[in-house]
Structure 1
Amino acid sequence: MMMDDRLALLRQIQEVEFAAVELNLYLDTHMEDQRALMEYNQIHKQLMMLKQQYEMLYGPLTNFGFSPSQYPWKWIEGPWPWEQVY
């Protein structure tokens, strides 16, 4: 069950991250669209909360200073996010 929860949270992060990238690309060419900017900022906030939740439960999503780690160093513990089997 824990692996199912982990995969569901990781999938949710991927979905929200996709929306953030799409809005980012849209805003590159529509910088005056205030509604899109508000949506982007909402998506960004949601994404940061989801990533923080994932890292608190399962360890870092990225390394090299982008994610904090609990003691002991968690980055070397697997499976890594990209090793998930769907």
Structure 2
Amino acid sequence: MDDDRQRALLLKVQEMEFVAVELNLYLDTHPCDADAINDYNCAVKELRKYKEKYESEYGPLLNFGFGGFSRKPWQWIESPWPWEL
């Protein structure tokens, strides 16, 4: 089912956001940890990949700012919205 695929991809986005935020917080107090910086950069790269894949298949994750550009018609009003999954 397509809804299951959409949920699974959104879960990957959420997981990678969690990893990136946690590494960001760690790096706030350990700014010279090269391994953590590498892990953070890898997490951000994966996060971007999953976000781009999600948005190309299902539409924007955000309505402005980091959400990027909308295809026509205006995609933000199409449901389900990410928090409705």
TM range (shorter): over 0.9
Q: What secondary structure is seen at the aligned counterpart in 2 of 1:53?
A: helix
Equivalence for 2:54? 54
CA apart distance, 1:66: 2.0
1:37-69 Cα offsets, whole Å, 9 max, x none, are 011001001000100000000000001232221
Number of corresponding residues: 84
Equivalence for 2:84? 83
Q: What secondary structure is seen at the aligned counterpart in 2 of 1:45?
A: helix
Q: What secondary structure is seen at the aligned counterpart in 2 of 1:43?
A: helix
CA distance in 2, matches of 1:65, 1:44: 17
The unaligned stretches of length 5 or more in structure 2 are: none
Equivalence for 2:32? 32
CA distance in 1, matches of 2:71, 2:59: 8
Higher-helix-fraction structure: 2
Per the normalisation by structure 2, the TM-score is 0.95
